[in-house]
Structure 1
Amino acid sequence: MSATASTQTWSWSPLTVRLMLAQAAVLLVGLIIVVITAVLVGPSMFYHELIQAGHADEATGLVHLEDAFRSVSLTALAIGGLPALYIAGVLSFYLHRTIGKSLASFTTAAGQVASGNYDVRVTSTKLGPEFDSLAGSFNEMAAKLSAVDTTRRQLLADLAHEMRTPLASLKGHLEGIEDGVVELDEHTTGILYAQIARLERLARDIRQLTAAEEGMTHLQLTPQDPQRLATQAVAAIEPDAAGKGVSITSISTGMDITPVLLDRERMGQVLGNLLENALRHTPPGGSITVHTDHAPEAVTFTVTDTGEGISAENLPHVFERFYRANTGREAHRGGSGLGLAISKALVEAQGGSLEATSDGLGQGARFRIRLPRHRPTT
């Protein structure tokens, strides 16, 4: 539940005092200039203007009226200037107090964010679009920090869970070897190396996922033949598919093949991840198809299998870190649980999208990559 930053009790802050003194100084200087102009300079200028216009006699007769003119002018300025000065001071005080409250609210909220409370939000100050934009930007920043913190906590919890099994296996076998219960033979050595390889793969996948999601992956975007990438990915996994008794084919449809701007290595990694995932969940006798469709606006790769399928409740979560459905996606089936998350991050880093669909359990699954041909420049 989000909280709103409470405003502190207003007091005379140094900033408010400085603003008030500066405003009062400006008003006083303006009033002094008006007095000097109207009382001292004005009569003299009028007197000289009469002389230059050829009315020296009239000008001489008006000299004795200057004192009266100055007295009346000072009285008029006092009557009109002092209330104006008071009203301006009151308005300045209100404005500075409102700004001070707004700054105090932002200060309090920033302090709470710095202390780890990312649910804090600031309300609109009603001081104009600039302050509203600042409040919106602050709230957006706090929301993103909250999402990052939630993801970090979940990642650490999932990582601890994923490391528990291989570490427990290593510890159990090593204790068995020390106690003489387990022999250090080829079979035991293979188990130990398998668990170490699993931990290494987990560390590598986490590093790749973090780099991709944070935009730290160095992409080398060059024009590539999409169909050639699909063919190479299929060729790489064909021996494993044949060993399992699963057929795999690649087809291409649409317009004439034209190059697409993408990272060849990263896209090959994505296609490889999707094909390995499809093979892992397709039983012997099943089939996998890689369909490349060339359209004027985009190129799509669709990896379709006839395997276990994905239930409707699990489908929205397949790209989450370490996510495995209860049916057929357990840790012993291989993989770190990060392959699909890495694939989605790498595709999005290249301006594309990756989505999964399935008609349900036992109905197979489809993973569709869409890469637009024309991407907005940043």
Structure 2
Amino acid sequence: MRSSLVALVLLAALPAATLADGLDRAVGKALFDRIWVQAPSSTAANDGLGPLFNEKSCASCHSGKALSAKITPLPDGTLAQRGLVTRLADPQGVPDPVYGRQIQPRAVSGLTSEGTVTYALPDEPGGPLAVVFAPSRGDLAAATRLGPRQAPSLRGIGLIETVDEAAILANAAAPKPDGVSGRPRLLEIDGQSVVGRFGWKASAATLDQVTSDAFRLDIGMSSPLAPFPHGDCTAAQPDCLAAPDGRSPEFDGEEISSEMIRLLNAYLAGLAAPAPVEPAPLGAALFASTGCAACHVPSLKARDGGTVAIYSDLLLHDMGAGLDDGVGEPGVASSEWRTAPLASLTFRTGDGRRFLHDGRAGTIDEAIRAHGGEATAAKTRYEALAAADRAALIAYLETL
């Protein structure tokens, strides 16, 4: 009783804005952890899952300290994983006519899933994952390619939205060494051109869009920004399109309301990146001298006039044939990738955490050596370092 009274006194002493933020994040965390169920159900606030889906909750894909994918090699070379999905498209970004943008290997009761997917480690370090898809709804189109994508770290994701768009564009226009270029991905939203900054291909400009797309593709649920109650189902899947949905007037006519998206993003935006540490002089110097900082820019200007330390320029770069999986997006080549922020790298070491877009690299060293294209010169300098200097550079990266 006494502890409860103390808690109430402390809550009453908090500013109203602080208290509201805390409550919003707590509700957002509950939404992040919620296990969604198929419609119709007795609790309308929980239904709408599928009909086809990858997981039943956000937390299923984003787990551990980094809130990212967990990928564990098994003795036979295959991977036990949560948070690894397979995108589908041709090099121009055209989705598969039957399976859509992503393979959903799970389905609600009474419906057939799209099949099973098995992942295996590459034969050579730095090579692509082996993906075996056993389809249950007919063959893929001849031009369709399979692109594994691991759920990224959510630690510090809110920082990305605070970067000033003008700073991204200015950095894109600035001259760079070693043949590095980098370009912004421009998206049309409400008739305006804005810079994409989230996702492996910079496919979203806002955290709202990121969350809405994840609900649609991974969980199969609609929201005002992604009003598709049957998720990624296509016209070639009439049974999926005919399945019941969980749309409700209480949720803006969709399965997930704008308010639910806002609360969930309040939680995501509050996920802290690591506290800054004083960098080891040698590691920080090597990060710059090898050329890593040309793309993994330590900080960018923030909208409020400060700086944001995310270690990314948020631009697209051609990373060469080695990282080209053949899966493009409209206006983005299959070999182009947005520079991955390194701000939460310290949370992504060990415990089934892997690196690069498909998790092919088991260590930071393997990830660097897999770089190509515009990053070739930086990789070459890294490989030419003495072993002690490479270790110092990696130790520095592990503090980010």
- Normalised by the size of structure 1, how large is the TM-score? 0.22
Q: Kindly indicate which of the two structures has a greater share of residues assigned to helix.
A: 1
Query: Over alpha carbons, which structure has the higher Rg?
Result: 1
- Normalised by the size of structure 2, how large is the TM-score? 0.21
The structure showing larger relative contact order (alpha-carbon pairs under 8 Å, at least 6 residues apart) is: 2
